[in-house]
Amino acid sequence: MIPDKIIERIFSKDKRAVSRAISLIETGNSYSTELLKELHKRIGRAYRIGITGPPGAGKSTLTNQLTKFYRKQNKTVGIIAVDPTSPFTGGALLGDRVRMSDIGSDEGVFIRSMATRGSLGGLSKKTIDAADIIDAAGYDYIIFETVGVGQSELDVAKAADTTIVVLVPESGDSIQAMKAGLMEIADFFVLNKSDRPGSDSALSALKTILMFREHTEKSWLPNILKAVASENTGTREIAEEIAKHKNYLEANGFLKTKREEHYKVRIKEIVEHLMKNELWREHRAESLDASLAKVVEGETSPYEIAETLFNDFKSTIK
């Protein structure tokens, strides 16, 4: 059963209820699906912003400044920080503690870190589920802050309405971002720490790379904004660019299309997750393990074993 009154408490923006609901999802609690079904009726009002980029680009600082900007406009903000926990130490990042003392005590701000550690592909699903809970609670903006280094982090950033890629003038940074697939997902770029040397050449390198992007007619052209987040320079311009992009999406009916696309990816992920659970039931997992020695010896091939397992799956599923 869903914990008592948690739905009502979430709808009334009770932070502890929101936090508890996210924990239920993180641990894969059996009621979490029921909970999400109930909450879904009230979602879709929050505007979702993805902030991504290489490590050290200043994403946390920018998120904080943007949050404070929205708070001055009396808007509420939920932040989901996807934390690429070190596989060695398991510790949280320093930035998180700094953030908590800065905006964590504000009643209109909800902050949650979600660890990459051990999630193995389930990260984007859980992160977006968490955003739904915050959305249902009535926050105006949701910011996904995620380091752009892995597929699941990219998936999170892409799941936003507006995706911002933050870069710094360090040489080669934009090239690296391109290789990591960050360039494709940006609705606009922020060149942070733009008071540093090399800022102008980084800007022109970025412009050159963007020129190669194919554009369809009427499509949105990603802008490049300069900022120094640590000095709160450029925050207003970033907020304005977000608003501009939001207007663009809404005026053309693209917001709905974009959200439909996001739901499509997500539903596929949920179905495939259900299916894998069914597929890797104990007896098939054991049968796979038992076959491995023969495959290494060359007696049978991976493809033959795969077909046997798939046929067994088909014949036993009801």
Q: Whole-number minimum distance, CB 216 to a copy of itself, in Å?
A: 14
CB nearer to a copy of itself: give 23 or 151. 151
Closest by alpha carbon to 46, among 84, 88, 76? Answer: 76
CB nearer to a copy of itself: give 98 or 292. 292
Q: Whole-number minimum distance, CB 206 to a copy of itself, in Å?
A: 12
Long-range contacts of 311-315 (CB under 8 A, 24+ apart): 312/284, 312/287, 313/278, 313/279, 313/284
CB nearer to a copy of itself: give 221 or 293. 293
Q: Whole-number minimum distance, CB 268 to a copy of itself, in Å?
A: 7
CB nearer to a copy of itself: give 124 or 235. 124
Q: Whole-number minimum distance, CB 21 to a copy of itself, in Å?
A: 14
Q: Which amino acid is at 35?
A: L
Radius of gyration of the chain (CA): 22
CB nearer to a copy of itself: give 79 or 183. 183
- What is the DSSP code (8-state) at residue 220? P
The half-sphere exposure of 129 on its side-chain side, counting CA atoms within 13 A, is: 27
Q: Whole-number minimum distance, CB 204 to a copy of itself, in Å?
A: 16
For residues 260-283, b (16+ Cβ closer than 10 Å) or e, as one string?
eebeeebeebeeeeeeeeeeeeee
Q: Whole-number minimum distance, CB 227 to a copy of itself, in Å?
A: 20
**Residue 146 Rama label (left phi>0; alpha psi -120 to 50; beta):** beta
Q: Whole-number minimum distance, CB 71 to a copy of itself, in Å?
A: 27
Strands of the 109-115 sheet, one edge to the other = 109-115, 77-83, 141-147, 47-53, 162-167, 188-191, 223-226
Q: Which two tokens stand for residue 308?
A: 């046997």
CB nearer to a copy of itself: give 178 or 239. 178
Please give the sequence-ordered ranges of beta strands (E in DSSP) within 15-135, or none if there are none.
Answer: 47-53, 77-83, 109-115
CB nearer to a copy of itself: give 218 or 318. 318
